[in-house]
Amino acid sequence: MTSKKPRAGSRSRVKDRDAVIGPSSLAHHRPAFADEADQPNRQDVALECGWGKLILAHTYAQPEDVAREVQGERAGARNIAIYVRDPHVILAQAPQQLFLDPSHTFRLALQSFAMPDDVAVAYRIRRLNSMEDAEAINRIYLARQMVPADPGFLWTHRDSPNITYLVAEDPFSGAILGTVTGVDHVHAFGDPEGGSSLWCLAVDPGATMPGIGQALVCHLAEHFRLRDRAFMDLSVMHDNEQAIALYEKLGFERVPVFSIKRKNAINERLFTSPAPDDAALNIYARIIVNAARRRGVDVEILDASAGYFRLTLGGRSVTCRESLSELTTAIAMSRCQDKRVTQRILSAAGLAVPEQREADGSDDDVAFLQQHGAVVVKPSDGEQGQGISVDLRDAGEMREAIERARQFDSTVLIERYCPGQDLRIVVIGYKVVAAALRKPPVVTGDGQHSIAELIAKLSRRRAAATGGESTIPMDAETERCVRLAGYAMDAVLDEGVELAVRKTANLHTGGTLHDVTHFLHPRLCAAAVDAAKALEIPVTGLDFLVRSPALSDYVIVEANERPGLANHEPQPTAERFLDFMFPFSITRETTYAQDAETTH
């Protein structure tokens, strides 16, 4: 296996001023503005950052002015007051609207900072230089459940002396893998201490290379060091142990600095105690519960560990287990649980499904494999990708996979392997509300770490991005996929070499979701709705294999009676679920995918 070549022309779109950020180029990024010595010490400074205002509280003379500025938050934004001297005094101005942010502030002394030897060089750190970059930054914010910023704002302010936007780019694909924002305090308010700060560090949860966050932090620090700034501050949640460990490794030290925010739905979990048992809910139940409370729907947690809760509005009450509710009948649920029944019903409805047989250990199993060349083995009743082996071409491996699948269900199915992209389409109320390509976990070599180490690093990042729901199992199936590619787990991949470490794209085994709702071919939308109607299930996730979501050909391989509604950003799947549960609670116009214009 050889490294991929850089994409043709991938560097040509980068302007000279936006060259790769590094010690040799950062010196040329000193802004051509008035002499910094002439910068006045400004008062009452609040910088608009796209996601809200950064309020430099120590530039304000009156605490009530800080409180007023924090409360002046525009809808959907988040204001942060940093460098608060007397937080108790500011909180006293509006105790019902403001709260003390439970974050630590860390400071890095820049004049003694040196780029660590282990900073990854497998990607390019550069400044934002196109509207495409701005849209990618916003996509990463949404994927990490962060407050989005208007891409137009980011693009318009790309040359601001106050704010610097850096991105990490994959030099092979041109994809944006991460982003960080820096604020220059000298240009922002004539800071006599010569400081700077770091904000909005975010890495794409689907990024396959390690060390992206560290590289962004270090290059921003070097950027400000070459501007002769004295320090760089950042704020991090007190319980974010992984991030704190990184900052301390880089030389950051805690400083007694406080921040204040406004109480709103975005940061509700920071200033309220969780409702009883809420902490035990998984991400799929939590997304619905939180959306319900924001809408004024009463929530009663029945069994948090199993995901059961009751939603009540007016005289209507519905019990749910995550996205499975009383509105799904036992018949519909059983049709989805038994994959044999699912296949027969969808086939009878004229929908495309792969050929299938029940494994019985006879020569007919081998004959089925020989007929189709490659097969999938899976338990008849299973979920979360458990017990599934894909693209089996050897009779011995097929028999081993059958035995693994029997650990999850006594009935095991052998299915014709259909190559293609794994597409999940979510249908609620017989309308398509979201579609996402599911991609298997892929690691990218850096020439330093073993495949096992790369998998562990990617697994930690996937877990952090999904509330612990997505991890890559270090099991026989992962080892088989690595071995099929010609590697051992302790092998070191060359820089830039990509390796898929699972064949399945299930989120629970490390897969990633990539929204394609507005590119979905109308025939795929229609097939998903027809499948839901054939199964008589109002809320379902259909698993398709397609050449492309923009093309019409497909096969349906599975229907899920309890589809996960999390990780489908930017589609508001939980909102659409509540629209279906409580249609009289809808407060804005609802647009569904099949009603929207599609791109072919």
Q: How many angstroms separate the CA atoms of 549 and 437, rounded?
A: 8
Q: Report yes or no on 12 lying in a domain.
A: no
**pLDDT value at position 16?**
34
**pLDDT value at position 274?**
62
Residues 381 and 466 in one domain: no
**pLDDT value at position 555?**
96
On whether the CB atoms of residues 463 and 471 are closer than 8 A, the answer is yes
**pLDDT value at position 223?**
96
pLDDT in tens, 84-98: 989 999 999 999 999
- What CATH number is attached to the domain comprising 371? 3.30.1490.20
Q: In what order do the strands lie in the sheet with 258-262?
A: 46-48, 53-56, 80-84, 258-262, 98-100
Q: Report yes or no on 564 lying in a domain.
A: no
Residues 120 and 237 in one domain: yes
CA-CA distances (angstroms) from residue 62 to 68, 70, 84, 101, 249? 10, 13, 11, 20, 38
* Residue type (1 letter), 444: T
- What CATH number is attached to the domain comprising 175? 3.40.630.30
pLDDT at 369 over 80: yes
Residues 215 and 121 in one domain: yes
**Mean pLDDT calculated for residue range 400-425:** 91
**pLDDT value at position 3?**
38
pLDDT at 275 over 60: yes
Q: Report yes or no on 387 lying in a domain.
A: yes
The fraction of the chain above a pLDDT of 90, given in percent, is 55
pLDDT at 312 over 60: yes
Residues 243 and 280 in one domain: no
Sorted by sequence, the CB contacts under 8 Å of residue 195 that are 6+ apart come out as 185, 186, 229, 230, 231, 232, 233
Lowest mean pLDDT among 57-71, 194-208, 267-281: 267-281
pLDDT at 469 over 90: no
Q: How many angstroms separate the CA atoms of 402 and 463, rounded?
A: 29
Residues 103 and 251 in one domain: yes
pLDDT at 159 over 50: yes
pLDDT in tens, 480-521: 889 988 999 999 998 888 888 887 777 778 888 889 999 999
Query: Which tops the pLDDT comparison, 591 or 413?
Result: 413
pLDDT at 575 over 70: yes
pLDDT bin (cut points 50, 70, 90) of residue 432 is very high
Residues 81 and 188 in one domain: yes
pLDDT bin (cut points 50, 70, 90) of residue 31 is very low
Residues 79 and 157 in one domain: yes
Q: Report yes or no on 361 lying in a domain.
A: yes
List 197's β-bridge partners, or say none: 183, 233
Please count the residues of the chain. Answer: 600
**pLDDT value at position 588?**
53
Query: The pTM is what?
Result: 0.66
Range of the domain at 363: 355-417
Sorted by sequence, the CB contacts under 8 Å of residue 518 that are 6+ apart come out as 593, 596, 597, 598, 599
Q: Report yes or no on 1 lying in a domain.
A: no
Mean of per-residue pLDDT scores for the chain: 86
**pLDDT value at position 382?**
73
Q: Report yes or no on 368 lying in a domain.
A: yes
On whether the CB atoms of residues 524 and 579 are closer than 8 A, the answer is no
Residues 282 and 242 in one domain: no
**pLDDT value at position 506?**
74
Residues 115 and 202 in one domain: yes
Q: How many CB atoms lie within 10 A of CB 303?
A: 13
Q: Report yes or no on 242 lying in a domain.
A: yes
Q: How many angstroms separate the CA atoms of 474 and 431, rounded?
A: 38
**pLDDT value at position 494?**
87
List 292's β-bridge partners, or say none: none
**Mean pLDDT calculated for residue range 284-293:** 90
pLDDT bin (cut points 50, 70, 90) of residue 23 is very low
Query: Which tops the pLDDT comparison, 229 or 34?
Result: 229
Residues 223 and 287 in one domain: no
Among 229, 252, 250, 249, which Cα is nearest to 105's? 252
pLDDT bin (cut points 50, 70, 90) of residue 593 is low
Last residue of a domain, one of 325, 345, 364: 325
Residues 244 and 110 in one domain: yes
Specify the number of domains making up the chain: 4
Among 79, 86, 83, 78, which Cα is nearest to 105's? 83
Among 541, 505, 548, 506, which Cα is nearest to 523's? 548
The fraction of the chain above a pLDDT of 70, given in percent, is 89
pLDDT bin (cut points 50, 70, 90) of residue 34 is very low
Q: Report yes or no on 532 lying in a domain.
A: no
* Residue type (1 letter), 339: K
pLDDT in tens, 57-78: 999 999 999 999 999 998 888 8
pLDDT at 445 over 90: no
Last residue of a domain, one of 450, 479, 502: 502
Count the helices and strands in the chain (H runs, E runs).
18, 27
**DSSP conformation letters of 260-306:** EEE--STTHHHHSPPPTTGGGS-HHHHHHHHHHHHHT-EEEEEETTT
pLDDT at 340 over 70: yes
Prior bond to 276 cis, omega within 30? no
**pLDDT value at position 317?**
95
Inter-axis angle of helices 339-348 and 330-337, to 10 degrees? 100
Residues 364 and 408 in one domain: yes
pLDDT in tens, 318-334: 999 999 999 999 999 99
